[in-house]
Amino acid sequence: QVQLVESGGGLVQAGGSLRLSCAASGSIFSINAMGWYRQAPGKQRELVASIASGGTTTYADSVKGRFTISRDNAKITVYLQMNSLKPEDTAVYYCMGRINLNTYWGQGTQVTVSS
């Protein structure tokens, strides 16, 4: 079994920064991609950023230039550095991993940006 454990959410004022972390553990044989999704109240879950095994990154248009996804392969951890946060970034952020040909999700971490 594979587990994804997120940390780093919280409350921040508009313009501030937060860094999310997601550590993968368990029986891991291959990682195709890891990423971050978010879901705001009343909205569908959406991709925020992802990083493929080869290092290619993808970002939602709404976060380009403000968020940066990175990873530490030795720690099997992916990070999301979020700068210049806006109230519309408020959501539950979920870590996603395409691991061992399956898709796994973390439990989610709340990010709240006050205006």
Tell me how long the chain is. 115
DSSP state letter for 43:
S
Taking residues 21-41, what's their average pLDDT? 96
Q: Which of 73, 79, 76 is nearest to 17 (CA)?
A: 79
Query: What does the alpha-carbon distance between residue 13 and residue 45 come to, in Å, rounded to a whole number?
Result: 23
Q: What is the pLDDT of residue 68?
A: 98
Under the banding of pLDDT at 50, 70 and 90, the label for residue 23 is: very high
Q: What token pair was written down for 24?
A: 């993968």
Residue 64 is given by DSSP the state T
Q: What is the mean pLDDT of residues 54-75?
A: 96
What is the model's pLDDT at position 37?
98
Name the pLDDT band for 76 (thresholds 50, 70, 90): very high
Strand partners, 21: 7, 79
Report helix, strand or coil for 1. coil
Please report the pLDDT score of residue 87 as a whole number.
97
Tell me how far apart the alpha carbons of residues 71 and 17 are, in angstroms, rounded to a whole number.
18
Averaged pLDDT for residues 1-6:
96
